[in-house]
Amino acid sequence: MASVDIRQVRKAFGTFEVIHGIDVDIGDEEFVVLVGPSGCGKSTLLRMIAGLEQISGGEISIGGRVVNQMPPKERDIAMVFQNYALYPHMNVFDNMAFSMKLRHAEKSLIEQRVRQAAEILDLTKYLDRYPRQLSGGQRQRVAMGRAIVRDPQVFLFDEPLSNLDAKLRVQMRTEIKALHQRLRTTSIYVTHDQIEAMTMADRIVVMHEGHVEQIGTPLELYDRPANLFVAGFIGSPAMNFMEGTLRREGDRAWVAAKGDLALPAPRGVGGSDGQTVVYGIRPGHLRIASDAEQGLPAEVEVIEPTGDNTLVFCRLGDIIVCAATTERHPLQPGERLRLVPQRDAGHVFDAATGQRL
Amino acid sequence: MFVDTKHHRPAKPRAAPAPPRFRLGESRAAMGLLFMLPAASILLLFLAYPLGLGVWLGMTDTRVGRIGHYIGIENYEMLWMDSVFWTSVFNTFLYTVVASIAKFALGLYLALLLNRHLPFKAFLRAIVLLPWIVPTALSAIAFWWIYDSQFSIVSWSLQRLGLIDNYINFLGDPAWARASVIIANVWRGIPFVAITLLAGLQTIPPSLYEAATIDGATPWQRFRYVTFPMLTPIIAVVMTFSVLFTFTDFQLIYVLTRGGPLNATHLMATLSFQRAIPGGNLGEGAAIAVTMIPFLLSAILFSYFGLQRRRWQHGGTD
């Protein structure tokens, strides 16, 4: 097991730069998720760590060794591909044993390691089967088995769950996390699914257009997003945003938005009086006011019950905001109500730079 | 997936049952027969009938201009004693085996080259197909000039390079003639093998190579353990066709050497024609043609077992 250090790494295809100098330090035994919308460079970064793409600039080291010029097999990594990349003409045993066979490992050792991995992944029954005879989840496990057999310093996962159906995806997510807790192998996991990132990661690296937007634990990113992009990307349903002007009076600070709305800024917010800002609040932090309470006047547009909670989409001035409530309000579209933002749950971002204030 | 709903739709209950009446359009079996008829009649007329006629002719002493009589297996007995016939059998096997192996090796090599990222890829692929598109008779005439005893460009070049003193008698010397027709056949057959194998190569997902690279496979091991096994089904198809085409080759030989010199390049197909048409012995020619059938059948049986889906291709739908 080893740490992975990424220093000022750049990637250009011809003259077109897709990754613009990224720094990430991944600790030993850590499970780090690279997340971002498609085209943000997360897969390219992973492939550079694997050695499948040349590094155009900067340095990647695994376990303290700079690997820039090292071929993939010397980097001591294993990779799980999105389409699993199982060899269709080899049965499960041979798929898992392939890397050891290439290294001319002893037969008994290969047998032992494959059986061990198969046991961990509950694949013992399927060792004679061919990939075509397996279900999606089983193939996924074989792909992981192939990685485990190699006993590498680092596991690399390239969107390994995106070919599975929703239910299996949740199940495999838990299995991968449990596997990491058992093996403690440093893991780098690429996904575009922020829920996958939140649930699995020790730390998340949010990427956008070839830059790192923020690095932190899942809850750090959720509670204190560094900028508008992270605020909008992490969390489902997404954060509500309203433009306005920051107002300060003594210790009190609020955001004055269109339609005479006063949105309470959290304590300790930066920025100066009169600054143009974006106010953000998560749907779960918008409460539907009781009859006696003051609040932001809104009109119900759409109601989406999910069971755990109910998402109420309301028109507030000229924008639509979403409020999530666990209570069962008998609401109807067109009904008027008042929304109460939880005081310190708001986020204020500079409108020009998008950075948190 | 398409579901043929038209034919599996349960009959609708009708309000007033009409008297049962046969309608062609509603009978699946009758329509099936009707649609099969054109293809079946073409096959019967142009394949089955000539084949049957050939087998029958082989058992007669028919000559051009004379109706023959049934003579049993006399033609075959004669062929058994005929050294020219056995030379042609040997030639056919030599020609087929050497040319097929060469076509496979060079075709696979070419396919692997074309599968890389090359400049002008589409253009190169089009060029590779050229030998296959040109009519055989035309390319044979071109080879005829290349192999000409006085004007051969090969001899001329080799002499200029100082490698030979006298022009090579490509088509006049038995050994050279055999080599020459095999080379011409290989040249003509490579595109078919190369383009088909290239199509097969392109169905192999790149991620398999990446996985193999990470697993530590060298380029040779990637070919040996990934490319080649995944290509075997298509290799079986291509080589079956290639062997059948080569075994029955006629045009190239007939234009280049007419079977000479000293029958050194006579194949069974050319000998059959030679005896039947210019020689006038239709019965004997037919008998030679019939002797090709067991060889071709065994090639087809070989391919039938070779073409069966490998176990790893079975099962699973997604």
Statement to judge: residues A111 and A86 lie in one domain: yes
Q: Are A179 and A276 members of one domain?
A: no
**A89 and A175 belong to one structural domain:** yes
Give the end of a domain, one of A181, A215, A233. A233
Best of A73, A79, A89 to mutate (most B CBs within 10 Å, chain B): A89
| Average pLDDT over every residue of B45-51 | 94
User: What CA–CA distance (Å, rounded) separates A62 from A75?
Assistant: 7
Do A166 and A256 lie in one domain? The reply is no
Number of domains chain B contains: 1
Amino acid at B89: V
Is pLDDT above 70 for B9? no
Q: For residue A209, which phi and psi values (nearest 5 degrees)?
A: 50, 45
To probe the interface with B, which of A132, A142, A158 has the most B CB atoms within 10 Å?
Answer: A132
- For residues B92 and B53, what is the distance between their CA atoms, to the nearest angstrom? 24
The 10 Å CB-count burial string (b at 16+, else e) for B128-143 is beebbeeebeebbeeb
For residue B193, give the CATH number of its domain. 1.10.3720.10
Question: Does some domain include residue B52?
Answer: no
Is B38 inside any structural domain?
Answer: no
Task: Write down the pLDDT at residue B309.
Answer: 65
B318, pLDDT greater than 70: no
> Which structure tokens are listed for B162?
């100082």
Examine the pLDDT at B254 and tell me if it is beyond 80. yes
Q: Which chain A residue is nearest to residue B317, measuring alpha carbons?
A: A132
Closest by CA position to B143, among listed B131, B133, B130: B131
In CATH, what number is assigned to the domain containing residue A323?
Answer: 2.40.50.140
A61 and A81 belong to one structural domain? yes
User: Does A277 score more than 90 pLDDT?
Assistant: yes
ipTM for the assembly: 0.84
Q: Single out the residue in A190, A210, A233 at which a domain terminates.
A: A233
Give pLDDT, residue A61: 93
The yes-or-no verdict on residue A222 having pLDDT over 90 is: yes
pLDDT tens-digit series, residues A61-101:
999 999 999 999 889 999 999 999 999 999 999 999 999 99
**Residue range A37-50: mean pLDDT, rounded:** 92
* Residues of chain B with C-beta less than 8 angstroms from the C-beta of A82: 207
**pLDDT surpassing 80 at residue B24:** no
Looking at the fold, whether A205 and A277 belong to one and the same domain comes out as no
Task: Transcribe A288-338 into DSSP letters.
Answer: EPPTT---EEEEEEEEEE-SS-EEEEEEETTEEEEEEESS-----TT-EEE
Same domain for A130 and A16? yes
Question: Residue A92 burial (CB < 10 Å; 0-12/13-18/19+)?
Answer: buried
In the predicted model, what is the mean pLDDT of residues B171-197?
Answer: 92
Q: In whole angstroms, what is the distance from residue B181 CA to residue B185 CA?
A: 6
Whether residue A150 is found in the same domain as residue A263: no
Measured between beta carbons, the chain B residues lying within 8 angstroms of A52 are 210, 213-214
Q: What is the pLDDT of residue B5?
A: 45
Which of B208, B214, B220 to mutate against chain A (most A CBs within 10 Å)? B214
Number of folded domains in chain A? 2
Q: Average pLDDT over chain A, rounded to whole?
A: 91
Of A207-221, A282-296, B134-148, highest mean pLDDT: A207-221
| Contact criterion met (CB < 8 Å) for B207 and A83 | yes
Give the CATH number for residue A116.
3.40.50.300
Percent composition of chain A: helix, strand, coil (DSSP 3-state, to 5)? 30, 35, 35
Q: Does A356 map to a domain? A: no
- Percent of chain A at pLDDT above 70? 100
Q: Do A210 and A90 share a structural domain?
A: yes
Residue B99's Cα: distance from chain center in Å?
11
pLDDT digits (tens, 9 = 90+) for A158-169: 999 988 888 888
Q: What counts of helices (H) and strands (E) characterise chain B? A: 15, 0
**pLDDT for B3:** 45
Whole-angstrom distance, CA of residue A83 vs CA of residue A143: 9
What is the per-residue pLDDT across A126-180, written as a single tens digit (0 to 9) for each? 999 999 999 888 999 999 999 999 889 999 999 999 888 888 889 889 989 999 9
Residue A331: give the domain boundaries.
240-350
Query: Is A13 touching B (CB cutoff 8 A)?
Result: no
- Lowest mean pLDDT across A4-13, B5-14, B34-43, B241-250: B5-14
Q: How confident is the model at residue B101 (pLDDT cuts 50, 70, 90)?
A: very high
* In chain B, beta strands by DSSP E: none
Q: B-contacting residues of A 110-169, CB under 8 Å?
A: 130-134, 136, 146, 150
Report residue B23: phi and psi, to 5°.
-125, 125
Asked if residue A314 lies in contact with residue A300, where contact means CB atoms within 8 angstroms, the answer is: yes
Write out the H or E segment, with its range, that includes residue A246: strand A240-249
Say what the pLDDT of residue B237 is. Answer: 85
| Structural domain boundaries, residue B162 | 95-267+294-310
Which chain A residue's Cα is nearest to B208? A85
pLDDT tens, position by position, B119-153: 888 888 888 888 888 888 888 888 888 988 888 88
| Whole-angstrom distance, CA of residue B209 vs CA of residue A85 | 9
pLDDT surpasses 90 at A232? yes
Which of A81, A91, A99 minimises the CB distance to B216? A99
Output the pLDDT for position A234. Answer: 92
**For residue A13, is it within any domain?**
yes
Neighbours of B185 (CB within 10 A): 26
10 Å CB burial of residue A107 (0-12, 13-18, 19+) is exposed
Q: Are residues A222 and A248 in the same domain?
A: no
A54 vs B: CB within 8 A? no
Q: State phi, psi for A345 to the nearest 5 degrees.
A: -90, -5
pLDDT band at B13 (very low <50, low <70, confident <90, very high): low
Say what the pLDDT of residue B22 is. Answer: 63
Given CA atoms B221, B224, B228, B230 in this order, what sign does their dihedral have? negative
- Identify any residues that bridge with A243 across adjacent strands, giving them in sequence order: A278
A132 contacts B316? CB cut-off 8 A: yes
The length of chain A is: 357
3-state secondary structure of A286: strand
Binned at pLDDT 50, 70 and 90, residue A278 comes out as very high
Residues A42-47: what's their mean pLDDT?
93
Domain identity same for A121 and A98? yes
